[in-house]
Structure 1
Amino acid sequence: MQRRILLAGTALGLAAPALMGRAFAQPRDPSWPRAINMGTAAPGGTYALYGPAWGGLAQEATGVNISYRTTQGPNQNIILVQRREVEVGMVTMGVALQAWNGTAPWTQGNRFRDIRALFPMYDTPFHGITLKRSGLTNMAALAGKNVGVGPRGGTPGTYFPLMFEALNIRPAAIRFGSGSDMSGQLQDGLLDAFLFASGVPVPAFSEAETQGEVNFIDFTAAETRTLTERFPELTASTLPTTTYRTAGRALNVVGMFNFAIAHHSLPETLAYEMTKAVLGQNARLRQAIAAGSETLAENASKNTFLPYHPGAARYLREVGQNIPDNLVGA
C-alpha cells in the first residue's frame, strides 16, 4: 500500500515532502486548517491510488497536510465526512443518492445532508472476472456460484447484490472483502468470480490477468436494459478492447460517476483552491493515474442532485460550467 502511494506521488512529479514530510507543510492561508483527512478505500481498487494522486496536487497547491484513511469505500466515506471524522472523501453518485435521501438499508433511515460535491472524478463501470478454467463467461452463469463483490461498504458491495436480485440470479454465496483479497480468493479457488466497480483498468483485474488466464464478465443488452430501468442512476457504456491486456473484446457495462466530496464546513477558499488544483492540472493527474483522464470540469453535469460546495461551484463557474443556484449548498 505505501509503495503504491509513493509511486503516485512520484508520477505527479511532487517533491518527497509533499506526501511524506507532512509536518513541514504550511497552509497558504492562515485561516485554513493545518491538516485534513481523506477517506479512500481498501487496496485493490482505484480509490486507494486515485486519492493520494489528487491529494498530492491539492496539498502542493494549498500547503494543507492531507492524510489518507483506508475505508470500505463510498458508504463509509459518506458516514465519516458527515461526522467530520474525515474532511474529504470519494463517492459514487448512486451511493451518494442513497445517502442524501436515506433510502438504502445501510443509511438506517438517516439522511446525510452535510456532504458537498467538490469535483467529478471518473466513471465506475460494473464488470468482473473469472478464471478461464472455470468456463464461466456471463452473469447468468454465476447462479449457484461463490461470488466476491468487494468491500461491504463499497459501491460494488452495495449494488451487485441488488443487481443479482433484479436479474433473478441467485449465487450460492456473496462474499465481501478488499479488491486484493477477492483477487487472492479467486486465484485460490475460493471464489468462482470476482465482480467489482472501480475506475478502469481495475488494478486487481489487471494483476489477475498477469497471473493466469481469465474471462471478463459483462452484461447482455437485456440485462443492461433491466438494470438501467431499475436503477436510473446507472448508465450503459462500453469499455474499449484495449482496457485490459487479454480481454480481446469490448465489454458492455453499466456504470455511475464518482465525485470527490467534502464536509460543508470546509473553508470556501480552501475548497476553491483544492478544486482548482485538481481540475486545472489534468495532465499531471493523468500521469499519476489513468482514471484521471475523465476528471474534467465538463463532467460536473454528471451531478444532478448533490449540492456543490460553494468554493467548488465558484471555480466550476469560472471555467464555464453551468452550476444552477439550487445545486450550490450553504
Structure 2
Amino acid sequence: MNFKAILAAVAATAVMSGPVSAQDKSDWPESFTVGTASQGGTYFAYGSGWANYMAEKLGISGGAEITGGPMQNMALVHTGDLNFGLTTLGPARESMEGKSPLAPGMKMDNVCAMFPMYQTPFSITALSGSGIKTIDDIPDGATIGFGPAGSTSDTYFPKMMDTLGVKYERRNGSWSDLAGQLQDGLIDVVAFAAGIPIPAVSQLEVQTDINIIGMNEAQLKKVTDAFPVAAFTIPKTTYKSLEQPSQVVSMWNFAVANCDVSDDLVYQMVKLTMEHNDKMMSIHKAARSSVPENYSKNNVLPWHPGAARWFNENGYEIPADRIHP
C-alpha cells in the first residue's frame, strides 16, 4: 500500500471512529447528581469530590446532594430521582428485599453496583471529661447521637447497643450537628459509622479532648455474630486522640447507579475511578480501599453492565448472572 493509500485508510478510520464516540455519548445525561449524606461525614466529602472529578474529566455538569445516607440513596437511585449514590451493603440488602423503613414493601431492585469504596467502621466518641472510656461506662439513659435518620449508623448502631446491653435515649441529626451537641454537653455520646478519618471527629479533637471508644473481644464477638459486619482496626495514626489502635466492626460501602444509566457513561466513570487511586486518595484518605481488588466484597447488588465491562476487561471476573440484564 502506498503512502496516499495509508493516509486514506487512516482518514477513513478517523471518520468512522467519530460517530461511534458521538453515539456513545448520545444517551449520557446533560448533568448528574450523586446522593451522599450529611455534611461533616465521609460520604459528603467523598461523594462531592468524586462528582467534581467525574464532571471535570467527562465534560458534563455534576455535583453532590445532601441526603439522609445509604437508605435514602437507595430509594432515590431506584426511582431515578438521582443518577448515582453511595450506599452500605447492609442497608442495600434491606432496601432490595423491600425492608427499607423509608418505603416498606418496595423492592428497590433497579440499583446497580459501580465500584467498591471503603469500609465503614462503627466507632463511639465521647468527651474525655465525661469519664466514658469504654462501652460499659455509658450510663443508663445516656443520650446517644446515631446520625441522620435512615443512615447506616441509625439503622444498625442502636441494634448493636441493644445487643451490648446499653440503655440509651436516641438522637438523630447530621454528623456536624451531633458533634456540636456533644461538645456543648447536650448529648453524651456520638455513635459514628463513616469512613475514616471522619471529618466531624477530626474537627472535634482539634477543639476539645475526646475519647474514641472501641470494643473488647467479647463485644466484638456478640456484634459480629448478630450483624453483617466484620472486625476492623482503626489505626492509631487515624486520630491524634488514639493512644493505640481501636478495635471496632465495619461494613463495606459501594458506589451505585440507577441500572438504566448509560452503560458507556458508567464504564468511563469506573475506569477513571479504578485506574486513578492517587486522585481518589487526594479526595479522601478512605479511598485507599477504592481499588478494583475489592470488587469481590459486593455480595448483595447486581452489577451495572458498564461497570462489569470494565472489571471483566481488566481481569476481575464478574459472571453474567451477577450483571443486571
- Does the pair score TM above 0.5? yes
Q: Does 1:155 align with 2:152?
A: yes
Which residues of structure 1 form unaligned runs of 5+? 1-25
CA distance in 1, matches of 2:276, 2:183: 38
Describe the SS at the equivalent of 2:25. coil
Deviation at 1:117, TM superposition (A): 0.4
1:53-72 deviation digits (Å, cap 9, x = unpaired): 22122223322211221101
Q: Does 1:274 align with 2:269?
A: yes
Give the match for residue 16 of structure 1.
none
CA RMSD between the two structures: 1.6
2:233 partner letter:
T
Give the match for residue 329 of structure 1.
324
Q: Which moved more, 1:133-142 or 1:97-106?
A: 97-106
Of residues 270, 276, 283, the one that matches 1:288 is: 283
Q: Is the 8 A contact 1:38 1:69 kept in 2?
A: yes
Of residues 312, 320, 323, the one that matches 1:317 is: 312
Q: Which moved more, 1:260-269 or 1:319-328?
A: 319-328
CA distance in 2, matches of 1:82, 1:320: 29
1:162-218 deviation digits (Å, cap 9, x = unpaired): 1122222111x1100000000000011001111111110111011111111111111
The correspondence of residues 1-330 of structure 1 with structure 2, limited to 5 A, is 29-142=25-138, 143-171=140-168, 173-231=169-227, 233-330=228-325
Describe the SS at the equivalent of 1:260. strand
CA distance in 2, matches of 1:31, 1:284: 27
What is the percentage of aligned positions where both structures have the same residue? 38
CA distance in 1, matches of 2:68, 2:91: 13
Q: Is the 8 A contact 1:313 1:323 kept in 2?
A: yes
CA distance in 2, matches of 1:201, 1:28: 38
1:115-151 deviation digits (Å, cap 9, x = unpaired): 0000000110000211101000112222321111110
Q: Is the 8 A contact 1:149 1:174 kept in 2?
A: yes
Describe the SS at the equivalent of 1:204. helix
Deviation at 1:30, TM superposition (A): 2.9
Which residues of structure 2 form unaligned runs of 5+? 1-21
Normalising to structure 1: TM-score of the pair? 0.89
Q: Is the 8 A contact 2:88 2:253 kept in 1?
A: yes
Larger gyration radius, structure 1 or structure 2: 2
CA distance in 2, matches of 1:109, 1:162: 21
Describe the SS at the equivalent of 1:186. helix
